[in-house]
Amino acid sequence: MTETRAGRCLCGAIVYEADLNGPHFHACHCGKCRRWGGGPAFATPSEAIRVEDETHLAFYSSSKHGERAFCQKCGTHLFWRFKTGAGLAVWIGALDEHDDLSFGSQIFINRKPDNYGFNNKTGDLTGDQVRALFAAGK
Ligand SMILES: [Zn+2]
Ligand SMILES: [Zn+2]
């Protein structure tokens, strides 16, 4: 059951509604997320996102499979999506409400550097395990 949440970028040029897959999020420790955001990415897998006005919405093709959406005006990181349209993950920091979401998992745990760590109890997945889930269409 999806849950619709509103969100927006820092400057307000981009306002959206996202249909979250559930009331949870993950931290991604992969090198691309850490370089893009300056640290691990907190994102929530989502069914769909509807952007009100896409004028300032830009995409960066970060891999063969995925692209990253951000606001051209203020740089806010918004979401990651499969180029095929098979799914997306919305960065929770841009949601208007996210304090009630639970920290479900840490992905690409094998890429996490040793100089930080979260003490939440989460399900941890390596990059290979994440890719296997994607391949299985989850
Ligand atoms: Zn903006
Ligand atoms: Zn990542």
If pLDDT is split at 50, 70 and 90, which confidence band does 137 have?
low
Distance from residue 53's CA to the centre of ligand 1 (Å) = 11
Note whether 66 and 85 are within 8 A (CB): no
Range of the structural domain that residue 11 is part of: 3-135
Enumerate long-range contacts of 80-86, CB under 8 Å, 24 or more apart. 80/41, 80/43, 86/134, 86/137
Q: What is the pLDDT of residue 29?
A: 98
- For residue 136, what are its two tokens? 């299985």
Distance from residue 70's CA to the centre of ligand 1 (Å) = 8
Q: Find the mean pLDDT for residues 34-42.
A: 96
Q: Find the mean pLDDT for residues 2-19.
A: 97
- Which distant-in-sequence residues (6+ apart) come within 8 Å of 109 by Cβ? 29, 124, 125, 126
Tokens 């960065």, residue?
Answer: 91
Residue 58's CATH number = 2.170.150.70
Ligand index nearest the alpha carbon of residue 62 = 2
Domain tally, the chain: 1
Distance from residue 29's CA to the centre of ligand 2 (Å) = 6
